[in-house]
Amino acid sequence: MRGGHGMSPCARVALVIPARNECRLLPRVLDAIPAWVWSVFLVDDARQDRTGDVMRAWGDPRARRLSSARRLGVGGAILLGYREALALGASCAVVVAADAQMDLAELPAVLGPIARSEADYVQGCRFLRDAPRGPMPWTRVLGNRVLSAATSWAAGRRIADSQCGFTAATAGALRVLVDAALPGGYGFPALARLEMHRRDLRVAEVPVRALYGTEVSGIRPWRDPALILARILRLGLARRLAARPHALGPAGLPDGAGGTA
């Protein structure tokens, strides 16, 4: 018999919620967490508002509050949550945004490929044909298209929505990401996806909704997307160079040039 998440009843499903200055929308996310979730890791990333108070006020016994006086960035906050989830024995972990942009009713769908032993890592996609369409601003659509195209080039395979942060990972995939020492900050979903492919782990995409309302984005226009793009392209170039056959022989000469007459 399986639980509401579709996984084995003994599965320990953790949620990792990185939060910075989200005191207004975080309560909506916390209220929507299903009862079958095993543990919730709330990562307070050097907030400057009442986010920490909201976390402390949530009286659910599943809550594990983590805090950092130094800003980690969204990627660093996620990795902190991953490390703690692994330390406590999580079977898998799902990343959920603190700004209510993710529909928690879709948690079973995001976990589905892991529950069926079809994937080690699952990433939501807001652009798949059967994904419910939400009012995503056109600037975000354009930015996502550009960054997803760059990530696809870097990975050597098509990736429809590399920036979607609604992800699930098995304990094995979590260990890979923690050990990879990926940079924090925005763009973490794309870098994590590239690491999964680099390590030949099984990856699945599932359609998810894009929810937009009154949240305020912390992304700095142009600067942050440019930094993300540069990181993706740098990783892609490194992968392609590493895959090239050696053009030089052991003596540093073109193959065949060092032979005897």
For residue 78, what is the enclosing H or E element? helix 73-87
Distances (CA, A) of 217 to 9, 17, 75, 98, 213: 37, 16, 15, 11, 11
10-residue stretch averages of pLDDT, the chain, 261 residues long: 61 94 92 97 85 90 91 92 98 95 95 97 84 61 82 88 94 97 84 93 94 57 68 73 55 46 38
Tell me the C-alpha distance between 41 and 61, whole Å.
Answer: 11
Q: Which fold has domain 13-135+160-218?
A: Spore Coat Polysaccharide Biosynthesis Protein SpsA; Chain A (3.90.550)
Contact 43, 84 (CB under 8 A): no
The predicted pLDDT at position 8 comes to 64
Whole-model pTM?
0.82
Q: What does the block give as tokens for 148? A: 């997803």
CA dihedral defined by 158, 163, 166, 171, rounded to 10 degrees? 70
Domain boundaries, given as residue ranges, for the chain? 13-135+160-218
Q: What does the block give as tokens for 146? A: 């550009």
The predicted pLDDT at position 126 comes to 86
Tell me the C-alpha distance between 155 and 82, whole Å.
Answer: 23
